[in-house]
Amino acid sequence: MKSRPRLALALAAALAVSAIALSPVLAANSRTVFFGSPGTASIMPSPDSLGVLTTTDVTAGGATATDVILQNLSRSQLTHVVIQGGDAAPDPLANPGYPAPSPICPAGATSSTQCLQSLPSGTSYLAVYASPSSTVPVDCSASTSTSLSCTVGNLAPNDVAEVRVILQPPAAAGTNVQFWLASSLDEGTSTTGSNQDTFFAYGSFNVLSPTCAEVADFFPQNQQPSLSNTAGGPCAQAASVGTNTTFPQGAFELVGNTNLNYCAPGITSCFGETTQANVNFGVQPGGSYVTWDIVWSGTDLPSAKPKGVTHFLDGYDPTNPKPGSYVNIYFTKKYECSSSLVTNCWVPPTTSTKTSFEAIFRTPSNGWANGF
């Protein structure tokens, strides 16, 4: 199962802001900004515009992340710029000329108690990182688990401030989380003046149930991503996926089994389901690798002695299986992992019983895998 399209928008490729078509927020004033997640195009040119925040998939017990861009599309400099959320968020109704629009505040709201909380109860900020794609210094060091505060300072025309926010939602599957962030200018929200001085962006996501088909999490910068699809209970094909590195902006990971039934050209018999591994949407530092640990049992157990596994790379097309889009890793001495063969190899020994077969192997990238 692929991670949903609402996601992969940015966390891997996005940070080249010059390549992103940003939709402006145009208020009836001299200020024009883009404020929301990269790749979104739902912000309309009206005073009650609302930015869109997209998030990564998350299953119960895991975390999710959103990337947030603030770009000055005005002709003049913006001053005293901050990005805020949680306890640091401004009153969404402080400027009656530009109240936070629905669904943050219902139309006609007269009190902020009628509005959504910026950070709902039971959800916390796990981490907040200033992105290296920002064109100005961004300081998020004042942020806490309940308060997001990133000082930007001044934004000249076309300057960009970008942050990554990792959210820890409630652990209960099925929970819907609605949250919002604000970008305030000129030392905060005012109650007077014709210029809009606070812009809002809103996001919503559901905490999914972990299944054999999908377990998803977002890991902070000091943790090596590692997940198992057995988080929700036993699986006939148990799969654990990890990597040997950490990521400076944290990393998304998803692992699960699908019924794609891939079988590489020249391989006459494949067994089991097809396991998917997604680590950081395929963006891996040099020298890093993905480690797969798969245990086949029950109806997924091969009837004959397994010969190896196939790694199908992202972009593999079973209707046009081009050379280089898949790699066969045989359980032979030639393909054993060593100091000279670090990836596209298996880690001995394989473990075989009457009821299960286990194999550990390494690949240089994401993709899918099954046995033959």
pLDDT tens-place string over residues 200-219: 999 999 999 999 999 999 99
Q: Does 98 have pLDDT greater than 90? A: no
pLDDT tens-place string over residues 271-295: 999 999 999 999 888 889 999 999 9
Q: What is the DSSP string of 179-243?
A: EEEEEE-TTS--SS-SS--EEEEEEEEEPBPPBTTBEEEEE-TTS--EEETTTTS--SEEEEEEE
Q: Which residue has the higher pLDDT, 25 or 127?
A: 127
Distance CA 14, CA 202 (A): 19
pLDDT at site 211 = 98
Q: Which domains does the chain have, with CATH numbers?
A: 5-206 (2.60.40.290), 215-371 (2.60.220)
Q: Does 187 have pLDDT greater than 80? A: no
pLDDT at site 112 = 96
Q: Does 298 have pLDDT greater than 90? A: no
The answer to whether residues 289 and 225 touch, using CB atoms and an 8 Å cutoff, is no
Q: Does 21 have pLDDT greater than 60? A: no
Average pLDDT over residues 289-309: 91
Distance CA 86, CA 96 (A): 21
Nearest to 66 by CA among 152, 165, 157, 148: 165
Cα angle vertex 368, ends 331, 351, to 5°? 35
Q: Does 15 have pLDDT greater than 70? A: no
Q: What is the DSSP string of 298-338?
A: GGGS-SS---EEEEEPTT--TTS--TTSEEEEESSGGGB--
pLDDT at site 48 = 53
Output the average pLDDT for the chain: 88
Q: Does 191 have pLDDT greater than 80? A: no
Helices (H) and strands (E) in the chain, counts: 1, 21
Q: What is the 3-state secondary structure (H, E, C) of 122-146?
A: CCEEEEEEECCCCCCCCECCCCCCC
Q: Is the N-terminal amide bond of 349 cis, ω within 30° of 0?
A: yes
Q: Does 35 have pLDDT greater than 70? A: yes
Distance CA 230, CA 213 (A): 10
The tokens describing 337, both together, are: 């992992």
Q: Does 5 have pLDDT greater than 50? A: no
* pTM of this structure: 0.89
Average pLDDT over residues 226-239: 96
pLDDT at site 74 = 85
Q: Does 85 have pLDDT greater than 80? A: yes
- Strands (E) in 44-133, as ranges, are 51-53, 64-72, 78-86, 124-130
Q: What percent of the chain shows pLDDT beyond 70? A: 87
Q: Does 371 have pLDDT greater than 80? A: yes
Q: Does 47 have pLDDT greater than 90? A: no
